[in-house]
């Protein structure tokens, strides 16, 4: 059973989420401030965190950042009130994977939780599996099933969203992908969303895999169109 941690100080919302998520077959733990949420996240290692933005003691942004610093890659969906001065780009930069704006229906939340879990579900590899997929470009090696990326012998840390974006680029290598395409494929937005999210994540990927992120060898910007993962010729 998948474990969900709900960090929310408004008791009515926390209770509603817990009830509905449990009805949908999830195990749910709650915490009502940021510090308790942080401690609980480390203790129970949930499969997903629903994280309210405005929280006592430690707000959602800070908590998210601290978890990522602890190398916790659990997917995080940020919950924000419409009036919160929530900077989506900053939230995503700090490591949130998605966000939802209140008020939302429990049904919406459950659909989003399921979608996020599906995207991040590690594929179980049977011991007898003869070969696992690997994308290899010189020093760069990406193992989709293991959720691992190496540059030479160094393991690189990726948030689930960054990893998903990288995989999508790799699966479509040498093809130009527009920001809207990436937004809809990786973020499941079927409406015109804010494409700055894409740019922010691309720049994270470059910081991690490019030797010189200003002169990217792998992830090329195609002016006026979008991005392309290019297999370098000289490797």
Q: Which stretch binds Ca ion (CB under 5 A): 3-11, 160-168, 174-182, 223-231?
A: 3-11
CB of 16 to Ca ion, least distance (A): 14
Q: Which stretch binds Ca ion (CB under 5 A): 5-13, 122-130, 148-156, 199-207?
A: 5-13
Cα distance between residue 155 and residue 146, in whole Å: 12
Residues 38-67 that bind Ca ion (CB under 5 A): 52, 54
CB of 55 to Ca ion, least distance (A): 6
Give the contacts of 200 (CB within 8 A, at least 6 positions apart).
Answer: 89, 92, 93
# residues contacting Ca ion (CB under 5 A): 3
Q: Which is nearer to Ca ion, 31 or 116 (CB)?
A: 31
Instruction: Return the DSSP state at 152.
Output: T
CB of 167 to Ca ion, least distance (A): 34
CB of 223 to Ca ion, least distance (A): 42
126 — phi, psi (to 5°)?
Answer: -70, 145
Q: Which is nearer to Ca ion, 52 or 230 (CB)?
A: 52
Give the contacts of 75 (CB within 8 A, at least 6 positions apart).
Answer: 47, 48, 49, 97, 98, 116, 117, 119, 120, 160, 161
7 binds Ca ion (CB under 5 A): no
CB of 87 to Ca ion, least distance (A): 17
Give the contacts of 72 (CB within 8 A, at least 6 positions apart).
Answer: 41, 42, 45
9 binds Ca ion (CB under 5 A): yes
114 — phi, psi (to 5°)?
Answer: -65, -40
Residues 162-201: x where in contact with Ca ion by CB under 5 A, - otherwise, as a string? ----------------------------------------
Q: Which is nearer to Ca ion, 81 or 222 (CB)?
A: 81
Q: Which stretch binds Ca ion (CB under 5 A): 9-17, 141-149, 195-203, 214-222?
A: 9-17
- The residue with its CB nearest to Ca ion is 54
Q: Which is nearer to Ca ion, 10 or 148 (CB)?
A: 10
Cα distance between residue 112 and residue 76, in whole Å: 11
Give the contacts of 2 (CB within 8 A, at least 6 positions apart).
Answer: 25, 26, 27, 47, 48, 117
56 — phi, psi (to 5°)?
Answer: -70, 160
79 binds Ca ion (CB under 5 A): no
Pair of tokens at residue 81:
């009130």
* Interacting residues with Ca ion (CB under 5 A): 9, 52, 54
């Amino acid at each position: 059973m998948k474990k969900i941690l709900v960090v929310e100080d408004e008791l009515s919302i926390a209770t509603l989420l817990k009830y509905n998520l449990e009805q949908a077959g999830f195990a749910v733990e709650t915490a009502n401030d940021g510090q308790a949420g942080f401690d609980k996240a480390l203790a129970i290692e949930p499969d997903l965190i629903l994280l309210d933005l405005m929280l006592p003691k430690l707000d959602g942004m800070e908590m998210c950042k601290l978890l990522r610093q602890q190398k916790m890659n659990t997917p995080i969906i940020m919950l924000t009130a419409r009036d919160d001065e929530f900077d989506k780009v900053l939230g995503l930069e700090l490591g949130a994977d998605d966000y939802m704006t209140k008020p939302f229906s429990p049904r919406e939340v459950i659909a989003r939780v399921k979608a996020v879990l599906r995207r991040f579900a590690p594929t179980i590899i049977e011991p007898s599996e003869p070969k696992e997929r690997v994308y290899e470009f010189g020093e760069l090696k990406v193992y989709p099933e293991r959720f691992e990326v190496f540059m030479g012998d160094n393991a690189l840390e990726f948030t689930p969203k960054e990893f998903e974006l990288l995989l999508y680029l790799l699966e479509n290598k040498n093809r130009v992908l527009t920001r809207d395409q990436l937004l809809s494929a990786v973020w499941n937005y079927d409406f015109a969303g804010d494409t700055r999210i894409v740019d922010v994540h691309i720049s994270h990927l470059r910081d991690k895999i490019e030797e010189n992120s200003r002169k990217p060898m792998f992830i090329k910007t195609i002016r006026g169109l979008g991005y392309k993962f290019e297999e370098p010729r000289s490797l």
